[in-house]
Amino acid sequence: MTLPPRHRAGRPAAAAALTLAGSAAGLLAWSRLGVDHRTPLPPALPGRREDIATRRAGALSFYASAETEGVPLLLIHSINAAANAYEVRPLYLHFRTSRPVYALDLPGFGFSERSRRRYTPRLMVEAIHAMVKEIRRRHGPVPLDAMALSLSASYLARASLERSDAYRSLALISPTGFDRQLSGEGPPDGHRGRDWLLRLLDRPPFGRPLFDALVTRPSMRFFLQKTFGSPDIDEDLLNYDYASAHQPGAEHAPWGFVSGHLFPTDTTRLYERLRLPVWMVHGERGDFVDYRLVPRVAGRPNWRIETLPTGAFPHFEQPGTVVTAYAAFLASITGNSAKRPA
């Protein structure tokens, strides 16, 4: 018997629907049965890992190595699908021998609270405020030095503008916001988030399975190679990132990142408003080399900008060069070493 045309036309659609349903069911089953969401996560850094409860940023985790006297240094990791304090490890290991060093896990990452909530630049700024307040509670009202990676540089810039008395200097490694795509000329204290996309991504039952597909080892290696601009990535960083991305709630902040909610609208203007001494370094390889707007601050006396033949994590590739250049910058603003307040 020959089927009517409308029945024949319905066969491909029905087959596609069955295929899609089968793929979705397979993704759910793989995520629930084949992926360990409680991979053991050791501390990312030596020293003490501590937690503080904050009203505006939730539960925050940080690492402290404060046995040495001097001006405290705060280190802040970048934002990506598997971000955590391991990203500042070479810097933390070096500076902990000469001064108090603190490294923060931003909200949604590492050992900090990973609840399903709205992750925005304001939330990250509030976390930095809370961490700085805790450091000053321990060391007195001495202005501290702070260093941030990539997108977090914009959060640090805003935090310092709101609490300028708490900072002596800023250091920005591969800061986001000098490029054409993410330059910030928009409304102050806003974000680029698309609520419909966040609602689509960060909701059960598919939010976690989709994230699991994003953070497979091959996928994470691919993105790290784009960051380093080379196949020669740091394997220990990859291993720790994988473990960090396979914790309960690990998907929530990254979906905020993917949906644009963690990108400020006014980053470039924030950098232009800085009056504190600023040290900036960035690489020349990989996907993060667009710094076309740097001339807007490069000629200012409070800015020192350096370029290295590396990817976006120069402190992993050339740690000695980075810390030497940073130490020279600190000496230039204090007239002495980083161990003594200016």
Q: What pLDDT sits at residue 253? A: 98
* Reported confidence tier of residue 339, pLDDT bands at 50, 70, 90: very low
Q: Which CATH number fits domain 48-334: 3.40.50.1820, 3.20.20.10, 3.30.70.270, 3.10.20.590?
A: 3.40.50.1820
Of 132, 135, 124, 143, nearest to 78 (Cα)?
A: 124
Task: Specify the 3-state DSSP secondary structure of 118.
Answer: coil
195 C-beta neighbours (distance < 10 Å), count: 11
Q: Positive or negative CA dihedral for 173, 174, 179, 185? A: negative
The encoded tokens of residue 273 equal: 């408003």
pLDDT, one tens digit per residue, over 172-217 is 999 999 987 766 677 788 898 999 999 999 999 889 999 999 999 9
DSSP 150-171: TTHHHHHHHHHHHSGGGEEEEE
83 contacts 149 by C-beta, under 8 angstroms: no
DSSP class of 310: S
Beta pairing class for 73-76 and 101-105: parallel
For 254-309, write each residue's pLDDT tens digit: 999 999 999 999 999 999 999 999 999 999 998 888 899 999 999 999 999 999 99
Six-digit token string for 133: 């307040």
CB atoms within 10 A of CB 265: 19
4-8, 33-37, 73-77, 102-106: least confidently modelled range:
4-8
Positive or negative torsion for Cα 323, 170, 64, 282: negative
In angstroms, how far apart are the furthest CA atoms of the chain?
Answer: 94
Query: 262 near 235, Cβ under 8 Å?
Result: no
Q: Tokens representing 18? A: 């069955």
Lowest mean pLDDT among 21-30, 49-58, 62-71, 140-149: 21-30
Distance CA 122, CA 158 (A): 9
| Model pTM score | 0.90
Please check the confidence at residue 24 and state whether its pLDDT lies above 60.
Answer: no
Place of tokens 């996907």: 287
- Residue burial 299-311, b: 16+ Cβ < 10 Å; e: rest: eeeebbbeebebb
Kind of pairing, strands 278-283 and 144-149? unpaired
Check whether 320 has a pLDDT greater than 90: yes
Quote the pLDDT of residue 342: 36
